[in-house]
């Protein structure tokens, strides 16, 4: 093992042990907390899954909010996301969730404090904890963890992308197999398993026939593969770091790439559209393609989740 990864793993293991033994205690909100997280640093589909789960909750008439760290924002402290705001204020993914779900989204480094703000404004409703598996300072009533095929053979940070080893899955209530992950590759130990299908949603406006495909997401090649599966062949590609904040220089370079590749437009993700902000109009014609997840046997999955939450509430 890489020496730095070994040090990182020791620190993570020691911290988890302190929580497991009750030396460090998680604080509890009045409303139930459902955490959506993963093992790796990005690219497992947490945001599409939160959007999926949120839509399922809305369909049942269940009131909820979303608690998120707000990764990449320039602000500090606990803030209620303004859907008309900027990613620099709230982070690109919380802003996307607020716009698409139209429910309260609260960002804060301390998710407990974010939850207190949410409860003071909206009552003790259900909280979806975005990217919460490693945020053990906040007690949760149900833990959902997404895994990908890459997680199986990956290494701990900084040599790889894993934030925790596979054995940490024992803390999960449900393991969600994303991006074609196989049950045979993971230590399930009797855990509940949910299966999702992830793909792109064809945009309502026409897609350029030979677009420049660009994005700043964790695993851009997965997005390109989904486009090709939908018979969209890029004329050129431009990839940026996850959560990339686009600049005027980026736009000039993209326009030059379009001209040099003889492309007839651009195509990107919803998250990148958030990060483009006012530069969106400079890249017309531009198709923004949503990434959407579908959960197999969704009604039964949610029934099981609420049953477990209720059983734990009665047993507390």
pLDDT (tens digit, 9 = 90+) per residue, 87-109?
Answer: 999 999 999 999 999 999 999 99
Query: Does residue 284 sit in helix, strand or coil?
Result: coil
In this structure, the answer to whether residues 41 and 178 fall within a common structural domain is: yes
CA angle 301, 25, 141 (to 5 degrees): 15
pLDDT average, residue stretch 38-57: 93
What's the pLDDT band for 137 if we cut at 50, 70, 90? Answer: very high
Rounded to an integer, the average pLDDT of 182-186 is 77
Q: Are residues 183 and 263 in the same domain?
A: no
> Can you tell me which residue has the tokens 């988890």?
16
> What is the rounded average pLDDT of the residues 46-64?
97
Predicted confidence at residue 1, as pLDDT, reads 67
Give domain status of residue 156, yes or no: yes
Residues 44 and 183 both lie in one domain = yes
In a domain, 112, yes or no: yes
Is 10 among the domain residues? no
Tokens describing residue 158: 């900084």
pLDDT number for residue 205? 65
131 and 248 inside one domain = no
* CATH value at residue 118: 3.40.50.300
Residue 73: the pLDDT is 93
135 plus 184 within the same structural domain: yes
6 is a domain residue = no
Asked which of 62-76, 88-102, 132-146, 195-209 is least confident by mean pLDDT, the reply is: 195-209
What is the C-alpha separation between 118 and 106, in angstroms, rounded? 7
* Angle at the Cα of 297 from the Cα atoms of 176 and 203, rounded to 5 degrees: 80
Q: Is 206 in the same domain as 229?
A: yes
Query: pLDDT tens digits for 206-238?
Result: 788 899 999 999 889 989 998 998 889 999 999
| Any domain includes 4 | no
Give the pairing type, strands 33-38 and 142-147.
parallel
| CATH, residue 236 | 3.40.50
CA distance 137 to 110: 8
- Residue 160: pLDDT band (50, 70, 90) is very high
CB atoms under 10 Å from CB of 82, counted, come to: 12
Domain residues for 279?
202-289
Specify whether 191 is located in the same domain as 234: no
Number of domain units in the chain: 2
**pLDDT over 70 (residue 204):** no
Percent of all residues in the chain with a pLDDT value above 90, rounded to a whole number:
81
Same domain, 169 and 259: no
Mean pLDDT of the chain: 93
Q: Return the pLDDT at 312.
A: 93
Please report the pLDDT score of residue 182 as a whole number: 76
Residues 129 and 213 in one domain: no
Lowest mean pLDDT among 49-53, 54-58, 65-69, 190-194: 190-194
- The pLDDT value given to residue 40: 92
Residue 115 belongs to some domain of the structure: yes
Mean pLDDT, to the nearest integer, of 266-273?
96
User: Is residue 224 located within the same domain as residue 264?
Assistant: yes
What crossing angle do the helices spanning 46-59 and 92-101 adopt, rounded to 10°? 20
Residue 13 located in a structural domain? no
pLDDT tens digits, 21-45: 999 999 999 999 999 999 998 778 8
- In a shared domain, residues 225 and 193: no
pLDDT at 200: 86
Residue 15 located in a structural domain: no
Residue 152 reports pLDDT greater than 80:
yes
Residues 155 and 284 in one domain: no
């Amino acid at each position: 093992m890489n020496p730095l990864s070994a040090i990182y793993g020791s620190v993570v293991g020691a911290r988890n042990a302190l929580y497991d033994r009750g030396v460090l205690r998680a604080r509890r909100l009045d409303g139930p907390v459902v955490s959506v997280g993963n093992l790796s640093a990005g690219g497992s589909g947490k945001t599409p899954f939160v959007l999926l789960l949120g839509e399922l909750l809305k369909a049942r008439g269940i009131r909820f909010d979303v608690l998120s760290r707000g990764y990449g924002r320039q602000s500090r402290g606990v803030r209620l996301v303004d859907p008309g705001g900027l990613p620099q204020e709230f982070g690109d993914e919380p802003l996307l969730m607020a716009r698409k779900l139209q429910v309260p989204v609260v960002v804060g480094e301390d998710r407990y404090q974010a939850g207190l703000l949410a409860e003071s404004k909206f009552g003790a409703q259900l909280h979806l904890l975005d990217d919460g598996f490693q945020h053990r300072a906040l007690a949760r009533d149900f833990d959902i963890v997404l895994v990908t095929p890459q997680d199986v053979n990956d290494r701990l940070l900084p040599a790889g992308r894993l934030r925790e080893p596979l054995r940490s899955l024992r803390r999960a209530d449900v393991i969600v197999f994303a991006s074609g992950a196989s049950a045979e590759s993971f230590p399930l130990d009797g855990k509940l398993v949910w299966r999702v299908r992830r793909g792109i949603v064809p945009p309502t406006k026409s897609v350029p026939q030979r677009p420049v495909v660009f994005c700043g997401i964790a695993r851009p090649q997965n997005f390109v593969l989904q486009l090709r599966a939908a018979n969209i062949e890029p004329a050129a590609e431009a990839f940026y770091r996850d959560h990339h904040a686009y600049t005027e220089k980026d736009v000039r370079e993209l326009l030059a790439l379009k001209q040099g590749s003889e492309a007839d437009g651009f195509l990107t993700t919803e998250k990148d559209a958030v990060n483009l902000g006012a530069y969106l109009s400079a890249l017309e014609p531009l198709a923004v393609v949503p990434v959407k997840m579908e959960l197999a046997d969704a009604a039964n999955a949610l029934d099981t989740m609420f049953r477990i939450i209720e059983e734990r509430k009665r047993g507390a």
